[in-house]
Amino acid sequence: MPTANTPEPPYYAVIFTSQRSAGDKGYAGTATRMEELAALEPGFLGIERARGPDGFGITVSYWSSEEAISRWKANLEHRSAQEAGKRTWYSAYAIRIAKVGRSHGAHPENG
Amino acid sequence: MPTANTPEPPYYAVIFTSQRSAGDKGYAGTATRMEELAALEPGFLGIERARGPDGFGITVSYWSSEEAISRWKANLEHRSAQEAGKRTWYSAYAIRIAKVGRSHGAHPENG
């Protein structure tokens, strides 16, 4: 996936790290659906994700405000997925909400 | 890898996302060395990383202060690795410095 084409800071990041338990159990379909839903939320700026062969993954979503993050957290379909994640998909996870103050990089594929 | 066992916020995160170009070209050894070096820096709190089969990866390192991040960025051996990354290992990358204000999760493997 490309690096997210975020605007100049400040903006907010939700850093979600998780260890998948064995077996798909509906995970892949729901993960794709959640990314589609998140992208429809007001204030969504972009998303980046990676998961290695050990099942450890990081998803960082970027948002214009803390209010936008709260709305996304409270989205009913997302809440249902959060519960399934805790119950079924993840053996461990951490969520961190952070304010991005500086950024730099090189993104030739974003033009 | 386990989720990082970070303290209560506030603390800082360096979110590094990158797309690897083809071939190792010394990357794996340097990446391991950089993690070892970072862990020796004052103010280092932990690290999480994942890279998927598409070569897109995310590394998040956690720090007690922005000064600790600046010192790590300026570390001479790290600077050399940063240059090699831009020149050889990454076709695209982004670095975001963020202040973590809230966190929650479940980390059974961290006790």
Amino acid at B99: K
Name the region of B55 (left: φ>0; alpha: ψ -120 to 50; beta: rest). left
Q: State the average pLDDT for chain B.
A: 93
**A52-69 CB burial, b ≥16 within 10 A, e <16:** beeebbbbbbbbbeeebb
Look at A107 and B94 and tell me if their CB atoms are within 8 Å.
yes
What was the pLDDT predicted at A109?
Answer: 52
Cα–Cα distance between B78 and A33 in angstroms, integer? 39
Cα–Cα distance between A9 and A66 in angstroms, integer? 14
What was the pLDDT predicted at B111?
Answer: 40
Residue B32 burial (CB count, 10 A) = 10
What was the pLDDT predicted at A1?
Answer: 82
Give the ipTM of the model, two decimals please.
0.93
CA A73 to chain centre: 11
pTM of the model: 0.94
Q: Which residues of A are less than 8 Å from B96 in CB distance? A: 6, 9, 13, 100, 102-103
What was the pLDDT predicted at A40?
Answer: 96
In terms of residues, how long is chain A?
111
DSSP-assigned letter for residue B23: S
Rg (CA), chain B: 14
Mean pLDDT of B18-43: 94
Look at A93 and B3 and tell me if their CB atoms are within 8 Å.
yes
What was the pLDDT predicted at B49?
Answer: 96
Give yes or no for A15 touching B (CB within 8 A).
Answer: yes
User: C-alpha angle A57/A110/A95, rounded to 5°?
Assistant: 25
Give yes or no for B55 touching A (CB within 8 A).
Answer: no
Contact between B43 and B35 under an 8 Å Cβ cutoff? The reply is no
What was the pLDDT predicted at A106?
Answer: 84
What was the pLDDT predicted at A111?
Answer: 40
One digit per residue, the tens of pLDDT, for chain A of length 111 reads 889 999 999 999 999 999 999 999 999 999 999 999 999 999 999 999 999 999 999 999 999 999 999 999 999 999 999 999 999 999 999 999 999 999 999 876 554
- Return the H-helix or E-strand segment holding B7: none
> pLDDT band at B2, cuts 50/70/90?
confident
Q: Which of B67, B106, B103, B3 has its CA nearest to residue A13? A: B103
Over residues B74-92, the pLDDT tens digits come to 999 999 999 999 999 999 9
Give yes or no for A22 touching B (CB within 8 A).
Answer: no
- The beta-carbon contacts of B71-75 under 8 Å, at least 24 apart in sequence, are B71/B41, B71/B42, B71/B43, B72/B38, B72/B41, B72/B44, B75/B37, B75/B41
What was the pLDDT predicted at A101?
Answer: 98
**A100: Cβ–Cβ under 8 A, 6 or more apart, which residues?**
A6, A9, A10, A11, A12, A13, A62, B15, B96, B97, B98
Cα–Cα distance between A43 and A69 in angstroms, integer? 8
